[in-house]
Amino acid sequence: MAVLIDPPAWPAHGTLWAHLVSDSSLDELHAFAESAGVPRRAFDLDHYDVAAERYEELVARGALPVSGRDLSRRLAASGLRVPGRERREARRASLSVRWEALLPGAPEVGEVLLDRWHEPHRAYHGPGHLAQVLRAAAIVEPDVPRPVALALWFHDAVHDGVAGEDEERSAALARELLVGLVPADEVGEVSRLVLLTADHRVAADDAHGALVCDADLSILGSDEAGYARYVRQVRTEYSHVPDEAFREGRAAVLRSLLGLGRLFATDEGARRWERVARTNLERELAGLVAGEAGPSR
């Protein structure tokens, strides 16, 4: 395990910037950054951006200096690397633009939500997940209905790791913040859709619910590297849970998903993600049953 830093070579805001990464653990990376006083706002999904003036200090604190090429290679090998497109979509500025297009004239609500999505305890349920579900919904239905988009913005606005309660509190937050901004029936619909993400069980005639749930579950249909990163991130969010208890709880979640019959409620979602998602879930479950907790960070 090592925290790595490459030479300051990336110009922005009148200075050069280096990248600070871990080759094995986001927990290790965050702990090092916190101890060195590197602010969490400098974190960009898989690395911290640090100004050139701090390079020598961070090396003295224990960051291992490597070339930019070596840093990229070791980050990729760690399974922690997030593709550039996903990082760009998940940046706060990019998400702010999307919020303004969705609900013009209510930037303060967008800021409240983005503050929540950027809470430091989130490894998976952070801005990357928000950007990913918005992208997935548009893949299934290019003209995403506003209640669906709003539900995706709110569906993990509260995330304390308490199944069911998180969704209820997220729905309550939607009812609180959207009053007066959209019609009352739309507020109710957004709240209903958020609550569906607790178990992803959708009625056959529920087009809005199908789109929300398919977008939320679309990560399951990732390629092998993307799914492995997702598993690591989930484990990181529950790093306080002992391995045996995590295996049992995670296995129960996977069995529940596999028991849905069809994971994806829309035809397009099923066509794109069903087969790969089931393969990913079954592979992970087999590992858990065999006693492999997966990456602990």
pLDDT tens string 149-178: 999 999 999 999 888 899 999 999 999 999
- 8 A C-beta contact, residue 132 and residue 211: no
Q: From the CA atom positions of the chain, what is the Rg in Å?
A: 20
Do 188 and 260 belong together in one domain?
yes
CA-based nearest residue to 177, from 97, 91, 99: 99
Do 186 and 196 belong together in one domain?
yes
Do 70 and 210 belong together in one domain?
no
Q: Place 260 in a pLDDT band, splitting at 50, 70 and 90.
A: confident
Do 75 and 110 belong together in one domain?
no
CA-based nearest residue to 146, from 187, 117, 192, 204: 187
Residue 292 is predicted with a pLDDT of 61
pLDDT surpasses 70 at 147: yes
Choose the weakest-confidence range: 49-53, 217-221, 293-297: 293-297
Identify the domain boundary among 28, 58, 81. Answer: 81
Please tell me the total count of domains within the chain.
2
pLDDT surpasses 90 at 13: no
Do 87 and 76 belong together in one domain?
no
CATH code, domain carrying 165: 1.10.1300.10
Residue 297 is predicted with a pLDDT of 38
Mean pLDDT, the chain, as a whole number?
94
> pTM for this one?
0.86
Do 113 and 215 belong together in one domain?
yes
Please compute the mean of the pLDDT values over residues 26-38 and round it to a whole number: 93
Which has the higher per-residue pLDDT, 292 or 185?
185
Question: Which is it for strands 64-65 and 3-5: parallel, antiparallel or unpaired?
Answer: parallel
Identify the domain boundary among 81, 96, 128. Answer: 81
Look up residue 129 and give its two tokens. Answer: 């997940």
Domain around 289: 82-297
Q: Place 296 in a pLDDT band, splitting at 50, 70 and 90.
A: very low
Do 123 and 149 belong together in one domain?
yes
Instruction: With H, G, I as helix, E, B as strand and everything else as coil, classify residue 15.
Output: strand
pLDDT surpasses 90 at 27: no
pLDDT surpasses 60 at 295: no
Pairwise CA distance, residues 131 & 141, whole Å: 15
Q: Give the pLDDT confidence of 97-107 residue by residue, as tens digits.
A: 999 999 999 99
Do 170 and 272 belong together in one domain?
yes
Identify the domain boundary among 81, 106, 123. Answer: 81
Please compute the mean of the pLDDT values over residues 222-239 and round it to a whole number: 92
Please compute the mean of the pLDDT values over residues 139-145 and round it to a whole number: 97
Beta strands in 29-184 (DSSP E): 48-51, 64-65
Do 132 and 275 belong together in one domain?
yes
pLDDT surpasses 60 at 183: yes
Do 142 and 179 belong together in one domain?
yes
Do 216 and 290 belong together in one domain?
yes
Q: Place 85 in a pLDDT band, splitting at 50, 70 and 90.
A: confident
Do 76 and 136 belong together in one domain?
no
